[in-house]
A and B are shown apart, each in its own frame.
Chain A
């Protein structure tokens, strides 16, 4: 429809467009800045920036800097994978319980509480992590280390498990679970009622109905929710920072009390960083941004696909 624009309209459209353009420019500039600095650092250090094992800023003028974010990248992935391994089964179980097993009043209460839980700041998860959870996490880690220590990733040198990637992964899982459980519950609630009724009409049990209809129906939606959770876990700073004993080396021993992720690398080093190191930190941040961006895009693609069908 071609609307004839009066003067009032022109002013209106001008203001609105200016607002949108400002947002576009601000956000776009930030993205461009990150990309620019990132490209600069990559051209300087090459692929070694990602694969290099050492992150050290030189204190002497003659010695060059060495910035390799490999360990931190791996650390980010490890902690997030541990978190997701626990999150996905728990979220599915939590969502199934709320939708199909809980009494109506309990269901309403839990759904409301779950929404509130998703709003808890991650700092408080870190607080809970080191003050309440560490003892429990340490117990489980020591159990794993003692019983399954022959498996390389569970092998440890020291006996101190409290500040390990494993415990950090557990705390991260607790953080992510409310989000993924909400998404899963939402998806399961949209299962067509007739299909569930048909399972019962054929003489099936509740689990039969869930296995035959609900789980296949909700599969892609739950994957989308898990991706959302993964994105959250990758970028998490404070909860990991508080729980982990930070050490910028490669480690695959998840029960050992050392580790780190990219976010805590930035948080630790920004204070005393030289201009060069700052650029390197920005480049590292840019890589992290690309990872969360990629995961979020996959998540929203899956979510749009499921809502359309």
Chain B
């Protein structure tokens, strides 16, 4: 009956600190070796270095794996392969995050969001001109599109889940099909109908094109959000003597308030970056405008697109900064949607 103290919990299966340091050092050594190889041979650029590093890692693994069993060696090599391919998969958008942040911030001046390009040429220095007209234009079109699309989309969602009338199958089928419309085709449709009729690109035309893209998404996601409401909730409403309209308005919809807000925010996030449809319907402009039905209008995507086509150094600088502003809006909306959407789940 000796007094034995409780031993410390251990994790003998984990790699020890010493081994972790050793493999970290090995990796750094391989990276430097790869760099040296690149300097002395013809492999060029970041991708050349990465390929050499991969080959060196594979060789090192082969050497270290001589004493392991066949299945362990295969396991280690495949791990290297998967990690490398995964890095390849993540690199483009990581590179985009980094480039847009760095190059966009480098060209950012306060006048970027306070002035337009009415008196400036893209080749002017960065402290002249700005993208205010593009920002305002995008906002205008998105707001108009939302005013039209959000009520229609949400009502469609309510129809599909609460009323389930005779046209349910047709409505769902059409919504499902039209959510696959390529964005340029939506723009083309508005171009051949509305824009031709009113003789020219307008903000309203752009808003219509964006709306065509928004509507199926909003309707489908609204339906999904409403489907999550448990049937017992509705039964409770009816049991209390409420009519259907009261039940829906006062019981069902408030439950999914955050969900529907998410739907709206995500719908906007989706179309704010669309370029192709605006190319055909809203045109572009260098001046700050507020008139939605008369004359073409600038938008952030078209602003960036036009600058890229010019292609000179300063134009491209402005394009990066414009891209940064656009990304900030898209991510801001996205993250807001996430924050709101999380509230429903509690």
Contacts and interface: CB of A to CB of B under 8 A. Distances in A.
* A–B contact at 8 Å CB threshold (below): yes
Interface of A: 3, 5-6, 8-9, 11-13, 15-24, 26-28, 30-31, 33-34, 89-91, 93-94, 96-98, 101, 110, 113, 115-117, 119-128, 130-133, 135-136, 139-140, 174, 177-178, 181, 204-208, 231, 234-235, 237-238, 242, 263, 266-267, 270, 278, 281-282, 285-286, 288-289, 292-293, 296, 300
Nearest to A279: B192
A174 B92 contact: yes
Interface string B154-173: 11101110110101001100
Among A126, A293, A300: residue with most chain B CB under 10 A: A293
Among B165, B178, B280: residue with most chain A CB under 10 A: B178
Interface in B237-289: 238, 243-246, 248-249, 269-270, 272-276, 279-280
Interface of B: 44-48, 71-72, 74-75, 78-79, 81-86, 88-90, 92-97, 99-100, 151-156, 158-160, 162-163, 165, 167, 170-171, 174-186, 188-189, 191-193, 212, 215-216, 219, 238, 243-246, 248-249, 269-270, 272-276, 279-280, 301, 304-305, 308, 316, 319-320, 323, 326-327, 330-331, 334
A80 to B, nearest CB: 12
Contacts of A237: 182-184, 275-276
Given A15-B155, A285-B182, A289-B181, A267 B334 contact: no
B336 to A, nearest CB: 12
Among B179, B181, B184: residue with most chain A CB under 10 A: B184
A300 B86 CA distance: 26
Contact of A23 (B100, B156, B188): B156
Given A20-B167, A24-B174, A207 B93 contact: no
Nearest to B43: A139
A6 B95 CA distance: 60
Among A9, A93, A128, A292: residue with most chain B CB under 10 A: A93
Contacts of B184: 235, 237, 263, 266-267, 285
A292 B180 contact: yes
A226 to B, nearest CB: 14
Main secondary structure of the interface of B (DSSP, over half): helix
B163 A207 contact: no
Given A20-B167, A23-B219, A139-B44, A123 B301 contact: yes
B246 A8 contact: yes
Contact of B85 (A11, A34, A89, A208): A89
Nearest to A89: B85
10 contacts: A17-B159, A20-B156, A21-B167, A23-B152, A115-B334, A119-B269, A123-B301, A132-B99, A238-B276, A282-B192
Nearest to A94: B89
B334 A116 contact: yes
Contact of A282 (B83, B182, B188, B301): B188
Contacts of A97: 82-83, 85-86
B180 A128 contact: no
Nearest to B215: A23
